[in-house]
Amino acid sequence: MNRNQPPRQSRDSSTPRAVLFDFDGVVADTANLHVAAWGRTFSELGWPIKPNDLESSAWLDDVTWLNTILRKAGCFTPHPTEADDDSARVHANSTLTVPSNSASLDSAVPPPPLDHWVARKRRIARRIVATSQPDRWLSAGVAALIQHLRGRDGLRLGLVTSALREDVELILAPAGLFGLFDQMVTRDDPTPTKPDPAPYLLALERLDVSADQAVALEDSPAGIASAHAAGLKVVAVGAAAFQGDGNQRVAPSCHLTDLRDLPSVLEALGLE
């Protein structure tokens, strides 16, 4: 299968053969986790940050969000010899500069490279998760939905996320959900990140289903655009699906407030 093109459509698409879940915002309700972890990271590194700026970390990936915040503050200058062609990577040679009107960091102490910021934030987030109740970071209704879908003959489940596999496992394993997905595509896989269709195309290939035989549950404009470009039907979940970059917005097939009403979710997925 050519991962750069949506799979060829099959004739029988009346009932999905696969349901593909996004992780952050769909399976996991991690908005407060990201906000709290980034807040602590900035505090530990001695930089103040406004609550309004922290809010967007709930729906943007770590690298995109950090670059946005530091550029907004006038503190970030990319290394002149490196091209930032992959939003999933952080350049260790990128330079942080403290504006003259900023008291956020002692000028005698050189700021850490961006990968240090992201790594610290992720360590803090993992500590928070590890000390939480097993189902603390699951979205409402998702455990019952996954268990129900897992019991349907012939239906395969996939997870397509920009999160690291170990972060996914940290949240799902204590709740007994980690082993219920037939395939996972995570940041550990060598594919471009959403909104590129590559993660969904790889998931379809691994699940051995065509695009018209699958439906995706997504919560962000980038995720919806990714699944749509791969040829999948897309069900949007939550309000964040309509936040972010308007250039990435693609109208989903339908929209769910959350996953708590199982009959409504199954109807949206075409599995009633």
Q: What confidence score (pLDDT) does residue 72 get?
A: 82
* Residues 241, 65: Cα–Cα separation, whole Å: 17
How many domains in the chain?
Answer: 2
Do 108 and 233 fall within a single domain?
Answer: no
Do 97 and 178 fall within a single domain?
Answer: no
Q: Is residue 97 part of a domain?
A: yes
Q: Is residue 2 part of a domain?
A: no
Do 86 and 65 fall within a single domain?
Answer: yes
Do 230 and 125 fall within a single domain?
Answer: no
Domain stops at, among 113, 130, 147: 130
Q: What confidence score (pLDDT) does residue 252 get?
A: 85
Q: Is residue 12 part of a domain?
A: no
Q: What confidence score (pLDDT) does residue 41 get?
A: 93
**Average pLDDT for 267-271:** 96
Q: Is residue 108 part of a domain?
A: yes
Contact 262, 141 (CB under 8 A): yes
Q: What confidence score (pLDDT) does residue 250 get?
A: 77
Do 257 and 245 fall within a single domain?
Answer: yes
pLDDT, tens digit, for every residue of 225-264? 999 999 999 999 998 666 655 445 677 889 999 999 999 9
β-bridge partners, 18: 156, 214
* Residues 162, 96: Cα–Cα separation, whole Å: 25
Q: What confidence score (pLDDT) does residue 249 get?
A: 64
pLDDT surpassing 60 at residue 62 = yes
Q: Is residue 8 part of a domain?
A: no
Contact 183, 158 (CB under 8 A): yes
pLDDT, tens digit, for every residue of 163-209? 999 999 999 999 999 999 999 999 999 999 999 999 999 999 999 99
One-letter amino acid identity for 110? Answer: P
Do 255 and 165 fall within a single domain?
Answer: yes
Structural domain containing residue 77: 32-130
pTM of the model: 0.79
